[in-house]
Amino acid sequence: MHTPFILTKSNDENISYINWRNNKLQNTPDYRRCDLNTLFIDINDASNPKPIELQQVLNSCKNNSFCLYRTPNGTSSNTKSIHTFATYLGLSHLDGNICADKDKLTSITATIHKGQHEYIPYSTKRLSWHTDGYYNTPENKINSMLLHCVRPAKQGGDSLFMDHEIAYLLLRDENPKYIEALMQPDAMTIPANISDGSIIREAQTGPVFSITNSGRLHMRYSARKRNIEWKQTTLIRDAVAFLNDLLENNSKYIIRYSLKEGEGLICRNILHRRTSFVDFDDESKKRLLYRGRYYDELTYPHYKIAKNKGGDK
């Protein structure tokens, strides 16, 4: 498989990586200095997006592994529109995790429901750096994610994002052996999820970095201190320490933004975290985001860009 993400001594493969690296850095701005509003793509109607809007979304995901988008408030924030929008991008196979809604989207909101309130995403607490589904089996890895804001918090609840390909690049620049170590099939283990003596999910062992069927990079990671078992080698310890330091020290490659009503993120399951927040007392005003986790990789299956046709520009 031709991909720049596999370590090799081949000159051709090294040139492929160097070219990819140069292009990646050229297309990645200093997010601390740029106007984040310029990153957003306007989607006029999420239930019937224009081909050129979809192409802009995918171009952003191709270059930076994510896309920030805006839709008009109101109808674009209903779950039917979100499902339709995702389908246009080739995302239809949702991960039905234990806290998902009946339609397999997940309502991310502070809750006191039994079983759900025990998990940090459904509280007002800070969420540490992670990629989604890091506890899934290899057959059910999360390749894409959508996060759509219906209502922001009263205060706080900022989202922080980092392209996992940039994290890979910086780790490889520091020490290529870090990548070799984090690609080991037993690099990271998530212990079994046990509740009241019953196993909800078996322990999952796997690599941090792996290659998808299409040759893209996939990352499986959590910065949690508890319930993570790292393979006990010096290289893995140093690689994890380097990555943690990178994520916690205001890197220019980290975006910090509080999603507003009608705004969202589509990504190739990049690194992300959330700050703590203060919510409204009124239930109808409480922070609410819809999250979709998809097994699919982002594609553009149904439409081609129409040339010289009004309405598609």
Portion of the chain with pLDDT greater than 90, in percent: 73
- For residue 258, name the pLDDT band (cuts at 50, 70, 90): very high
**Cα 34 to Cα 31: distance, rounded to the nearest angstrom:** 5
- For residue 312, name the pLDDT band (cuts at 50, 70, 90): very low
pLDDT at 297 over 60: yes
Residues 252/254/258/263 CA torsion (nearest 10 deg): 110
User: Of how many residues is the chain composed?
Assistant: 313
Q: pLDDT at position 306, please?
A: 38
Tokens describing residue 234: 């010096």
Whole-angstrom CA distances from 313 to 53, 71, 109, 147 are: 8, 17, 36, 26
CA-based nearest residue to 85, from 274, 233, 235, 262: 262
> Going by DSSP bridges, is the β-strand pair 155-156/277-278 parallel, antiparallel, or unpaired?
antiparallel
> Going by DSSP bridges, is the β-strand pair 66-70/40-42 parallel, antiparallel, or unpaired?
parallel
Contact 123, 110 (CB under 8 A): yes
**Cα 247 to Cα 254: distance, rounded to the nearest angstrom:** 8
pLDDT at 282 over 50: yes
pLDDT at 14 over 80: yes
Q: pLDDT at position 198, please?
A: 75
Collect all residues with Cβ–Cβ distance below 8 Å to 229 and sequence separation of at least 6.
Answer: 188, 189, 190, 191
Q: Which of 37-41, 49-53, 97-101 has the lowest mean pLDDT?
A: 97-101
At 122-178, the pLDDT tens digits run: 888 999 999 999 999 989 999 999 999 999 999 999 999 999 999 999 999 999 999
**192 vs 152, residue with greater confidence:** 152
Q: How many CA atoms lie within 13 A of 276 on its CB side?
A: 3
Q: Which domains occur in the chain, in start order?
A: 11-192+200-294 (3.60.130.10)
Rounded to two decimals, the pTM is 0.90
